[in-house]
Structure 1
């Protein structure tokens, strides 16, 4: 019987840290609405996407009369989920690692739990806000783009949530491995290549078969496919691989990436946290000041 109170007493500090992290994440998210750089980060992708779609307005999906702009919008929304989960999470970790925030979190009992919950809350909130800012204009302006019924709303919801779970832990792994924020190109360059080959701006069925197989290994393609299934007419599935939205495959691949990230992220984060020290933070700050001067 004594084991039960012991387990409760062990879990209560972690739960308090998680609640504190949730509160911190909400506060940080609220502060993004008062920061000019953060506001620009919200609006710029939406503006850029609308400009790209404007130049695509005269094109149609091969073999159909459907607008390529309308087909591209949900694909780009899936891309933004992946980009936010991978890059925003990685960037947040590398910046906090350089300025000593992670070291301070490590010094507090269960501080890493609270820190991670806070970052997950912040990155998820930023991703959802960015998604809304892009989706609403698309629904108002683009023909053929709509959420048709309860089933499509449910599809939109589980694709977004599963996409965040599939990408944020991997982003945390990248952030743990990259000590310098200026080395984020190591993440950005491969990501841009995946975006170009994942059928975001043009149907993947027009790519070589070997390239289609590579794209289907990674979550960006499946997030784009899932968003297209939620926002496009059902007959547009005819231009997809297998002429189907392949919901089961989408759940399977994103689920595998989610499990992989959830297994790897705690291991890599613990090792990274153990290596953090005051001298390492001071050394990184000194190098940063040298680059500025």
Structure 2
């Protein structure tokens, strides 16, 4: 079942669009938005949370546009999980978690802390008295307080060390809640998301099953992201193409950085079906075979 859907959504700040006619569904099994900084991931997440109105297109919540939906039900069903720094430093942990609960249910704070693997006694502490991993668990507990059906997670492990990351990922994988994950960490999206969408310069350039997309990319940008991940004991990653080039203003936005660019790339490619995924690349078949 699709709870949230973007339909030809263009988003921007002022009059400058930064996300261009993106269409995607948030479906069961977890959905990942992958891309480097500035690719439009967080801007799209803000639209899914109702914090940013589209310049054109619509965000759909169930069977109606979000702008016409029951916002009270939406806020209960869809909750953000920001990075741990989002906690109010002046507020004790218990009060922070209890904010979303009705007064009669505030005895559940200890239960929620236990659900995310924390000692209920930590409710009396302030954020600066907790470790980074503990603070991130508090953020998750606060999001779970209203019983959401979907969590929207924006880089939930980026500020944590590797061992703490693993514990947070175990927790998220065990939750009976759907998730939209915004990240540049391919290992995290592979662990938590059945489907992924790769964004470059505010456009979806590849979509499909996460395992297939990462094992055998069909877009040069997806392959560049995968190849940039260091492998333990292996050689240092080697960049392909001009990594410093800005996105092209016309045609394929990746063409100035692409090692496979040809004159045809001066024409913007449309998303098309290639080997079980959707790809916006004239040379997708060559990428798969190389």
**TM bucket by the smaller chain?**
under 0.3
Question: Of Structure 1 and Structure 2, which has the larger fraction of its residues in helix?
Answer: 1
Using structure 1 for the length normalisation, give the TM-score. Answer: 0.22
More RCO (CA 8 Å, sep 6+): 1
Using structure 2 for the length normalisation, give the TM-score. Answer: 0.23
